[in-house]
Amino acid sequence: MMKRFLPDSEDRENVRKILSEETVLIISIVKWILLATGMGAIVGVSTSIFLRLLSLSSQQMEQHTYYFLLLPVALFLSSAIIKYLAPDAEGHGTEKVIEALHKRAGRIKAAVVPVKLVATIITIAGGGSAGKEGPCAQIGAGLSSIAAGFLKFNDHDRKKLVICGISAGFASVFGTPIAGAIFGVEVLFAGTILYEVLLPSFIAGVTAFQVSKALGVAYFYHPFDFVPVFSQAFFAKVVFAGLCFGVVSVILIESLKYGEKLSKRFDLWKPAKGFVGGSVLVALVILTSRDYLGLGLDTIHRALEGDSIIWYAFLMKALFTSITLNFGGSGGIVTPIFFIGATSGVLFADLMHLDTATFAAVGMVCLLAGSANTPIAASILGVELFGPQIAPYSTVACVIAFLMTGHRSVYPSQILAIKKSESIKVELGREMEDVEAEVKVRPDSMTGMGMQMAKRIHHIGKRGISHIGPAIGLPPAKTDPEDKKEDDDKDAADK
């Protein structure tokens, strides 16, 4: 009788398998906690050195009123250093890291780290419009790749360690360990996250942040005392804000693409191209303002304080950044994204008669969500930077901005993992720069009916103008023959 309650051979085998599985998992967890902690500490020290050097050099340069006149020389030197010492350090660093992970299993040349550091300091201190997160990500990824080679890691573990380095770099520069760690994972694919690297990424991010903080790196936090009162009307404005910030994200992405295309048209020696780009920036500064030079942190602070910002500031920053990064400059793209988001948020608030500081903050995180396809990291960033009060609004707006940006990104090597609409045909698994979107709308779907209604309203509007215009003294509108034929057919059908 007792034998019925005793485990048989099958039960003992099952227990053995469970114990074996749990033992392997414990060993794996401990292994990656140790690796991520060590990597986070190394990256934290390295990025702290870079951030301190960048801060000191920028402060020294900005003491001189006309320091921006050295921009042609700065971009010339930056381009020359990269061209002859480490071509992989060209452009904004995060993009090159994503490319290395997807195409070279995370292998990054050792020369990239010091070259990126020096070239970025020259660019930003000289007045170039770029960010500091890209170099930190590239420093973290480069050091992780070197460590993986030293430890004889296989491709899978190397990529995992490099992702830890990226997360550590972002966390140390943002001062937001959770959002920074998530961003390092989320930015690799548009629409999916590699869950297996979440633990080491969090560990590396928190460690790098704590090390950088202990070494005296100053971080930006701006918790809001003002809490918007929820109402249906206010929530509708938040939704509309998400749509608008998505459009601004598209403007930024397309301006970077156009700048790259324009740069390739100039068949010049790369350092000479940098000199030309720097000269154009000098001319633009003389015509406009110095506010769009460098990191632009003062303007971001002013926007978050609720100060007035000139309405076209976000457009000028996009232009300055595109010229800088496509004509020899080195640096990241996230700090310009914050600038563009904050200033476009000020414009939106002014037009809609809303609180300026609130929508400057919402704009900051929305532009990151839209242009980088990282809505989760951007939503968490909003909480870490501005407090939980803003979270319900910023999160909704972030997701809408992410969807509105479509199948494009500031990171061309990012892999597309989802379709943002069933009515848009795209090939998944391709790099963003190779994605071709084609609208395929079923007439019987809600989207199709909505488009037909919009088209009908458009035709009615054109016909109304053409009929009413002459009566009020306006010249008759020129009508496309095909549109006229379509209108006549519709009239016949109605009759």
Q: Where do the structural domains in the chain lie, given as residue ranges?
A: 17-214, 232-404
| pLDDT, position 427 | 87
| pLDDT, position 351 | 95
The pairing of beta strand 438-439 with beta strand 424-425 = antiparallel
Measured in whole angstroms, how far is the alpha carbon of residue 344 from the centre of its chain? 16
Q: Where are the alpha helices (DSSP H) in 288-328?
A: 297-304, 313-326
Instruction: State the Cα–Cα distance between residues 320 and 293, nearest whole angstrom.
Output: 8
Looking at domain 17-214, its CATH architecture is Orthogonal Bundle (1.10)
Asked if 123 contacts 82 with a C-beta cutoff of 8 angstroms, the reply is: no
Tokens found for residue 218: 């100053």
Tokens found for residue 477: 């509108």
| pLDDT, position 5 | 62
The pairing of beta strand 330-331 with beta strand 424-425 = unpaired
Instruction: State the Cα–Cα distance between residues 281 and 69, nearest whole angstrom.
Output: 9
- Count other Cβ atoms within 10 Å, centred on residue 37: 17
Instruction: State the Cα–Cα distance between residues 256 and 262, nearest whole angstrom.
Output: 10
- Count other Cβ atoms within 10 Å, centred on residue 15: 11
Exposed / middle / buried, residue 493 (Cβ in 10 Å: 0-12, 13-18, 19+): exposed
Instruction: State the Cα–Cα distance between residues 20 and 27, nearest whole angstrom.
Output: 11
Mean pLDDT by 10 residues, the chain (495 residues): 64 85 94 95 94 92 90 94 84 82 87 88 93 89 92 92 93 90 92 90 94 89 74 93 97 94 88 93 94 93 92 96 92 94 96 93 96 95 90 94 94 91 86 85 65 64 50 46 52 49
Asked if 415 contacts 102 with a C-beta cutoff of 8 angstroms, the reply is: yes
Q: How far apart are the first and last CA of the chain?
A: 90
- Count other Cβ atoms within 10 Å, centred on residue 486: 13
| pLDDT, position 162 | 94
Helix (H, G, I), strand (E, B) or coil at 425: strand
The pairing of beta strand 415-416 with beta strand 189-190 = parallel
Instruction: List Cα–Cα distances, 78 to 72, 84, 271, 324, in angstroms.
Output: 10, 10, 8, 11
Domain 232-404 has CATH 1.10.3080.10: yes
Q: Do 232-404 and 17-214 fall under one CATH topology?
A: yes
Backbone angles phi, psi at 474, to 5 degrees: -90, 150
In whole angstroms, how large is the CA radius of gyration of the chain?
A: 26
What lies within 8 Å, CB to CB, of 226 at 6+ separation is: 355, 357, 358
